[in-house]
């Protein structure tokens, strides 16, 4: 057992996409299925999908991929509520949690593995970087979860906490193993489709 949980944030309404974003087809499958399949082989004991909008349609897709689903009824209040819902759902024996976004389908097991390695070396917070920029995913050791419960709010995720407590953060280059491109609009999805036919991800080297 790795004693690490993965939390996939999949609760948003996708307003810029026009709704139904995570159900939209990407490479022949719903986007949520692609994001979950990219986590297969990751060194985690469980995958928790936090749902909100479209929960009833997303739940069977997530569970078919082996993810445990959690409903965040307060998802409209922002991403922070989904992060906290995921943390509350983690197994009691979990020593850390990796938080990922469901609309970043090219971030997968390679990035998670690097973050878990950093945690094993003592990192309390490990964040994936690309081209030197800290983006996603982010791993939080259980010791810092109380800090998240105190300070997370709104729709900015943990970015503010990373800035306020730099002494806790270890940056982990993931350029060679993942691409953090996210899907906000239908145009973004078309771009990723084209990208995937040319080799799967951008080069950050």
pLDDT tens-digit readout, 48-66:
999 999 999 999 999 999 9
Backbone dihedral angles phi then psi of residue 35, each to the nearest 5 degrees = -60, -40
Question: In this structure, what CATH number is given to the domain that contains residue 130?
Answer: 3.90.550.10
Q: What's the domain range around 80?
A: 4-197
Q: What are the distances in angstroms from CA 127 to CA 163, 177, 199?
A: 12, 14, 25
In a domain, 204, yes or no: no
In a domain, 171, yes or no: yes
Which is higher by pLDDT, 201 or 39? 39
Q: Which among 119, 136, 120, 149 is positioned nearest to 180, based on CA atoms?
A: 136
3-state secondary structure of 51: strand
In a domain, 54, yes or no: yes
Number of domains present in the structure of the chain = 1
Phi-psi region of 127 (alpha: psi -120 to 50; beta: other; left: phi over 0): beta
In a domain, 106, yes or no: yes
pLDDT tens-digit readout, 103-136:
999 998 999 999 999 999 999 999 999 999 999 9
Residue-level pLDDT at 67: 98
In a domain, 205, yes or no: no
Task: Starting at the earlier edge strand, list the strands of the sheet with 125-130.
Answer: 68-71, 46-51, 4-10, 96-101, 133-141, 125-130, 169-173
């Amino acid at each position: 057992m790795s004693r690490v949980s993965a939390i996939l944030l999949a609760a948003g309404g996708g307003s810029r996409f026009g709704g139904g974003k995570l159900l939209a087809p990407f490479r022949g499958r719903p986007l949520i299925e692609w994001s979950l399949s990219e986590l297969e082989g990751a060194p985690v004991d469980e995958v928790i999908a936090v749902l909100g909008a479209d929960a009833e349609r997303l739940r069977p897709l997530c569970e078919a991929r082996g993810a445990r689903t959690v409903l965040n009824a307060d998802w409209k209040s922002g991403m922070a509520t989904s992060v906290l819902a995921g943390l509350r759902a983690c197994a009691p024996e979990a020593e850390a949690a990796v938080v990922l976004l469901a609309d970043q389908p090219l971030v997968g097991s390679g990035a998670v593995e690097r973050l878990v390695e950093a945690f094993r070396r003592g990192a309390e917070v490990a964040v994936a970087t690309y081209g030197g920029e800290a983006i996603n995913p982010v791993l939080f050791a259980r010791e810092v979860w109380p800090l998240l419960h105190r300070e997370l709010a709104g729709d900015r995720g943990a970015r503010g906490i990373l800035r306020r407590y730099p002494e806790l953060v270890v940056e982990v280059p993931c350029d060679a193993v993942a691409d953090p491109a996210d899907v906000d609009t239908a145009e973004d999805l078309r771009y990723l489709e084209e990208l995937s036919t040319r080799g799967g991800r951008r080069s950050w080297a």
